[in-house]
């Protein structure tokens, strides 16, 4: 078994690096054309990197939330619903309390509730995990639409108070890097901070070991005295909290800091793909989120720049990139061994 898998991965990375360099080369050569020149100009601007990071954070948070759940063996495709409901709750709460922090906390709580529902359906009732996720996603769409209509029937867009942009003293003044990386709002930095924190908890604490054991081999874990269902419940609820916060990030990422129907538009699924793409570890997920954030930011800018490609095709870009990445990287992806399989306590005869 040893030897073939790492070799394949190394080869794959080499290929993709090569492809990326080739693309860059192609772009440079094509800089004469509108499209090529357009893309290059966009990529070079520090605002682009900034926008990419802003777009990536909601994905990152949702994906990290999804990771917690997945490592315990529960497929969490309900990320979309947690994100959407989180966004709505973040918006209304921060508007009501006139504080973005209230929105963040409320979003986390709302996400936890959704997580609780998902856990109840899939763990206690043992319903199909995918159907439960789809049902919750539809529920989120309907509930947020209803709520939005009820509370903001006037149709006038009210901007909720958002997080202030921080400007880090020395680093914020650096030429390219300053705008790109060091003048974001605090939510972005919190999101980034979550990566090493999660890594540490997952791999250096016994909580993390327990969590991963439940996803790998729940029966073995139970013989070691671990209550599998309880761990899974906690994992899904926690993942809901983090995914709910991603909704808050989503609201904050929109220019007007407001909610609208179906704000998430499938980003929960892109986040799910990011978990696979990142091979179920926080660092990899970060790269996945950045990649997809890049796609998102690129598409918006290309529209504004006017490169002559119809905007609808550009809108497809993030999804196509995700699809390609998924196909390319799913080949040897091995997630937690017991993912998606419901667990029963007493073996039946």
Partner 1 sequence: MSEGARAKAKPVRPRAWSKLPIASVALSLISIATAILIGTVMMLAMRFDPLRAYAALWQGSFGNVIQISETLKTAVPLLLCGLGIAFSFQSGAFNIGAVGQMYLGALAAVIVGGQFPGLPPPLHIFLATLAAFVAGGLWALVPALLKILSGANEIISTILLNYVGIYLVDYMIAGPIKTGGHRDAPTSWPVLEGALYPRLIPHTQLHMGLYVALAAMILLFVVMHYTTLGQRVRIVGLNPVAARHAGIRSNRVFVLAFFISGSLAGLAGASEILGYQSRLISGFAPTTGYDAIAVALLGGFQPFIVGISALFFAGLQTGAVAMEAIAKLPAQLVGMIRVLAMLAVLAASSPRIVSLATRLRGGE
Partner 2 sequence: MTLPVGAPAAAIRRLERFSVAGRDAVLELRGIVKRFPGVVANDHVDLKIYSGEVHALLGENGAGKSTLMKVVYGLYRRDGGEILIRERPVDLRTPQDAMALGIGMVHQHFMLIPNFTIIENIVLGLRSRRYPLLKLDEAARRIQPLADDFGLKAPLTLKVGKLTVGQQQKVEIIKALYRGARILILDEPTAVLLPQETEELFKLIEKLREGGVAIVFISHKLNEVLAISDRVTVMRRGGVVRTLDTFDSSPAELAEAMVGQAVDLAVDKEDCRPRGACLEIEDAEAKDELGVLKLNGLRLTLKAGEIHGLAGVDGNGQQTLVETMMGLRALQRGRILFGGRDITYSSTAERIRAGVEHIPENRHTEGLVLGLSVTDNLLLDVFEAPPFAKSGWRQFRSMNERAEALTRDFDIRAPTPAIEVRKLSGGNQQKVILARSLWREPNVLIAMQPTRGLDVGAASFIHRQIVKARDRGCAVLIVSSELDEILGLSDVISVIYEGRIVETRSVLETNLSRIGFLMAGGKPGDVPGNPPGPVPPRA
Please give the helix or strand (H or E) that residue 315 lies within, else none. helix 311-315
At 1, list the tokens.
């078994």
Residue 35: partners with Cβ closer than 8 Å, 6 or more residues away: 307, 308, 309
Judge contact between 152 and 90, C-beta under 8 A. no
Backbone angles phi, psi at 185, to 5 degrees: -85, 170
Q: Residue 156 binds what, of partner 1, partner 2, none (CB under 5 to 8 Å, by partner type)?
A: none
> What is the per-residue binding string for partner 1 in 318-337, x denoting contact by CB under 8 A?
-xx-xx--xxx-xx-x----
> What is the per-residue binding string for partner 1 in 250-279, x denoting contact by CB under 8 A?
---------------xx--xx-xx--x---
Minimum CB–partner distance for residue 82 and partner 1 (Å): 15
Judged by CB under 8 A, the residue of 4, 206, 223, 349 near partner 1 is 349
> What is the per-residue binding string for partner 1 in 69-88, x denoting contact by CB under 8 A?
--------x-----------
Q: Does 151 bind partner 1 (CB under 8 A)?
A: no
Q: Does 131 bind partner 1 (CB under 8 A)?
A: yes
Residue 14: partners with Cβ closer than 8 Å, 6 or more residues away: none
Phi-psi region of 340 (alpha: psi -120 to 50; beta: other; left: phi over 0): left
Minimum CB–partner distance for residue 112 and partner 2 (Å): 21
Tokens 């909601």: give the residue.
Answer: 58
User: What angle do the packed helices 228-253 and 267-277 form, to 10 degrees?
Assistant: 120
Q: Which residues bind partner 2 (CB under 8 A)?
A: 1-2, 4-5, 8, 204-210, 212-213, 216-217, 219-227, 337, 346, 348-349
Minimum CB–partner distance for residue 4 and partner 2 (Å): 5
Q: For residue 214, count CB atoms less than 10 angstroms from its CB and return exposed for 0-12, middle for 13-18, buried for 19 or more.
A: buried
Residue 343: partners with Cβ closer than 8 Å, 6 or more residues away: 73, 123, 218, 219, 228, 229, 232
- The length of the chain, given as a count of residues: 349
Measured from the CB atom, is 102 or 298 closer to partner 1? 298
Measured from the CB atom, is 104 or 285 closer to partner 1? 285
Minimum CB–partner distance for residue 11 and partner 1 (Å): 15
Q: Residue 337 binds what, of partner 2, partner 1, none (CB under 5 to 8 Å, by partner type)?
A: partner 2
Minimum CB–partner distance for residue 278 and partner 1 (Å): 14
Measured from the CB atom, is 54 or 275 closer to partner 1? 275
DSSP string covering 280-299, please? TSHHHHHHHHHHHHHHHHHH
Minimum CB–partner distance for residue 123 and partner 2 (Å): 18
Q: How far apart are CA 118 and CA 240, in angstroms?
A: 9
User: What angle do the packed helices 267-277 and 317-330 form, to 10 degrees?
Assistant: 30
Measured from the CB atom, is 184 or 232 closer to partner 2? 232
Please tell me whether residue 165 adopts helix, strand or coil conformation.
Answer: strand
Measured from the CB atom, is 175 or 310 closer to partner 1? 310
Q: Does 197 bind partner 1 (CB under 8 A)?
A: no
Q: For residue 213, count CB atoms less than 10 angstroms from its CB and return exposed for 0-12, middle for 13-18, buried for 19 or more.
A: buried
Measured from the CB atom, is 239 or 257 closer to partner 1? 239
- Site residue total, partner 1 (CB under 8 A): 46
Q: Does 116 bind partner 1 (CB under 8 A)?
A: no
Residues in the site for partner 1, rule: CB under 8 A? 77, 121, 124-128, 130-132, 134-136, 138-139, 141-143, 145-146, 149-150, 265-266, 269-270, 272-273, 276, 310, 312-313, 315-316, 319-320, 322-323, 326-328, 330-331, 333, 342, 349
């Amino acid at each position: 078994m040893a030897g073939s898998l790492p070799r394949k991965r190394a080869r794959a990375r080499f290929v993709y690096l090569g492809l990326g360099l080739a693309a860059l080369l192609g772009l440079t050569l094509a800089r004469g054309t509108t499209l090529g020149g357009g893309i290059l100009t966009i990529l070079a601007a520090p605002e682009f990197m900034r926008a990419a990071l802003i777009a990536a954070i909601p994905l990152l948070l949702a994906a990290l939330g999804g990771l917690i759940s997945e490592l315990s063996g529960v497929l969490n495709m309900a990320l979309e619903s947690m994100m959407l409901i989180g966004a709505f709750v973040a918006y209304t709460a921060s508007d009501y309390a006139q504080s973005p922090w209230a929105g963040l906390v409320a979003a986390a709580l709302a996400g936890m509730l959704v997580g609780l529902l998902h856990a109840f359906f899939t763990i206690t009732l043992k319903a199909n995990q995918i159907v439960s996720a789809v049902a919750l996603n539809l529920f989120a769409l309907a509930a947020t639409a209803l709520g939005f209509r009820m509370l903001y029937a006037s149709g006038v867009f009210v901007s909720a108070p958002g997080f202030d942009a921080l400007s880090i003293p020395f680093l914020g003044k650096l030429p390219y890097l300053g705008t790109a990386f060091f003048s974001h709002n605090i939510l972005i930095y919190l999101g980034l901070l979550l990566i090493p924190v999660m890594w540490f908890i997952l791999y250096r604490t016994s909580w993390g070991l327990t969590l991963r054991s439940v996803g790998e081999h729940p029966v073995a874990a139970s013989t070691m005295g671990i209550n599998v269902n309880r761990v899974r419940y906690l994992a899904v609820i926690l993942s809901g909290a983090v995914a709910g916060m991603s909704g808050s990030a989503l609201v904050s990422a929109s220019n007007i800091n407001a909610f609208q129907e179906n704000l998430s538009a499938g980003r929960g699924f892109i986040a799910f793909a990011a978990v696979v793409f990142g091979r179920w570890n926080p660092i990899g997920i970060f790269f996945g989120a950045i990649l997809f954030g890049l796609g998102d930011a690129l598409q918006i800018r290309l529209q504004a720049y006017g490169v002559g490609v119809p905007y609808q095709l550009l809108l497809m870009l993030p999804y196509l990139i995700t699809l390609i990445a998924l196909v390319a990287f799913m080949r040897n992806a091995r997630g937690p061994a017991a993912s998606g399989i419901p667990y029963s306590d007493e073996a039946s005869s």
